[in-house]
Structure 1
Amino acid sequence: MERFNKFEFARLLNIAKGQRSINQYGLQSEVDPGYISRLLRGLVDSPPLPPTIKKLADKAHNEITYEDLMVAAGYLERGNQSIPATPSVDEMARVPIYGEVRTGEPLLVLEQIIGYDYVPAKDVKGGEYFFVRVKGDSMIGARIQDGDLVLVRKQPTLEDGQIGLVIVDGKPMIKKFYRQGNLAILKPENAAYQPIVAPLPEVTIVGEVVEAKIKFRGRK
């Protein structure tokens, strides 16, 4: 695999976007507009997976091709159609992305799909999964940063110490979960925040956070 030329990729992607807004391009290609925005600004240090590039190319304007984007991504040399061993579309699963969930100041979530991302199908086998984008810094000790996408597996229970997406008083939040008698202790991973204590019947467990797609320093 050649080196990812993120600035050439950004240039080609901007041409492919044409006169459309980023949101329009994201909606048509079924790629997260926030991810497209970061690609356009050269803020992503690793290339999109080939299935994502295929979706961007399929909706590209101005004669930008799949090969153009694959060359800039480092998967191909110009004129070489052989693609290195990477997960194929059939080996990837499309996972919906819902709106933001605040980790320090909760915000309503799971009302609208704002995009999709792809993960290896084997990683989401046998369950229902979705992404949410984090807003806030209360879980930085668990390496969950503001702007990260977290992958959630829907399930009604959590074990002590697991990080979960829960709802308290109608407000979703991401916290480390503990039981203490009939109480739920929802602990942040940032000393600037206090744990939230609530009766177990008042806490709805949406699912376990199983992965965070890290937003590297410097991204907006």
Structure 2
Amino acid sequence: MVATVHAIKRSSSHDPCRRTPQPERAQPEGGAVSTPTEPADEVHSGGLTPRQHAILTYIRDAVRDRGFPPSVREIGEAVGLSSTSSVHNQLAQLQQAGYLRRDQSRPRAIEVLPPPGEAAAEAAHAEGAQAAELAGVRRIPLVGEIAAGAPIIADEHIEQQVTLPEDLVGEGTLFMLRVRGESMVDDGILPDDLVVVRQQPTVEQGEMCAALIDGEATVKRFRRGRDGRLWLDPSNEAFEPIPLDPQADNQILGRVVAVLRTV
């Protein structure tokens, strides 16, 4: 929501080099085939072999260039593994290490993930950014209606939550009301404006407040007459002051601290 707020007193693809297929050594039991013992299988930084790096690069490039992952056979051809069992073995190791996400029910559903360390760092950064963004702001409920004798911020009456800077609205229990009518236009408050109200039972002379009069919320200025009587004054001279009778179902809801207007 775009609003005016004022207070009262935020390529080119790379294919890995094709290797010449070499004889592969079968494991003694289980039928799985491991990659041959060769320099390419030495573990480098990140706990991956050069071949596993090549597999990740090939999958990532294929998804980038054509929009979907390669088949197991295509991966094997790209990195020099003639046996699909060897490819499956490499993919399983990469998945276990947290570099891949696979859906076993969909053969081509392979997603390359950020390295585990980088993923944790990115998550921590995102959490920190979110915390920084939320620091110093308030989530304020927009109340659709207010019933006499009922809690002002009742869940069933909240239309939405609006986030505003705390340095604008201040502390305390806050809620928002939508202005109806033109009784406060001379104070710059127009129909459909949103007023932020700090919940409190009393206000000072001349302060703008929200009050509940005959079951309806209204925004006016508070005034105590010389005779001690209490009044709610409009700023528009076309409207009459409203007497505030503490003995009736009338009450001060709180002081208006900010006004929002969409543009």
Normalization by structure 1: what TM-score?
Answer: 0.52
Q: 1:155 aligned to 195, 200, 204, which one?
A: 200
**TM-fit CA distance, 1:128:** 0.4
Question: Which letter does structure 2 place at the counterpart of 1:150?
Answer: V
Alpha-carbon separation, structure 2, partners of 1:190 and 1:149: 18
Match of 2:214 in 1: 169
**TM-fit CA distance, 1:90:** 2.2
Contact 1:185/1:197 (8 A) holds in 2: yes
Match of 1:210 in 2: 257
Match of 1:194 in 2: 240
Long gaps (5+) in structure 1? 1-34, 50-86, 102-108
Is the alpha carbon distance of 1:192 and 1:177 closer, same or farther for their aligned partners in structure 2, counting shifts above 3 Å? same
Alpha-carbon separation, structure 2, partners of 1:177 and 1:215: 26
Q: Does 1:92 align with 2:137?
A: yes
C-alpha distance after superposition, 1:108-149 (max 9, x if no partner): x86511111111133444310011111211101111111111
Is the alpha carbon distance of 1:90 and 1:204 closer, same or farther for their aligned partners in structure 2, counting shifts above 3 Å? same
Bigger shift: residues 206-215 or 181-190:
181-190
Match of 1:136 in 2: 181
Alpha-carbon separation, structure 1, partners of 2:4 and 2:153: 29
Long gaps (5+) in structure 2? 11-131, 147-151
Contact 1:164/1:176 (8 A) holds in 2: yes
Alpha-carbon separation, structure 2, partners of 1:208 and 1:45: 20
Is the alpha carbon distance of 1:122 and 1:198 closer, same or farther for their aligned partners in structure 2, counting shifts above 3 Å? closer
Task: Give secondary structure in 2 for the equivalent of 1:122.
Answer: helix
Is the alpha carbon distance of 1:210 and 1:192 closer, same or farther for their aligned partners in structure 2, counting shifts above 3 Å? same
Alpha-carbon separation, structure 2, partners of 1:168 and 1:199: 9
Runs ≥4 in structure 1, deviation > 4 angstroms?
none
Alignment root-mean-square deviation, CA: 2.6
Bigger shift: residues 125-134 or 192-201:
192-201
Normalization by structure 2: what TM-score?
Answer: 0.44
Contact 2:138/2:163 (8 A) holds in 1: yes
Is the alpha carbon distance of 1:125 and 1:113 closer, same or farther for their aligned partners in structure 2, counting shifts above 3 Å? same
Match of 2:224 in 1: 179
Alpha-carbon separation, structure 2, partners of 1:209 and 1:193: 20
The percentage of aligned residue pairs carrying the same residue is 31
Larger strand percent: 1
Contact 2:168/2:258 (8 A) holds in 1: no
Question: Which letter does structure 2 place at the counterpart of 1:211?
Answer: A
Alpha-carbon separation, structure 2, partners of 1:168 and 1:149: 19
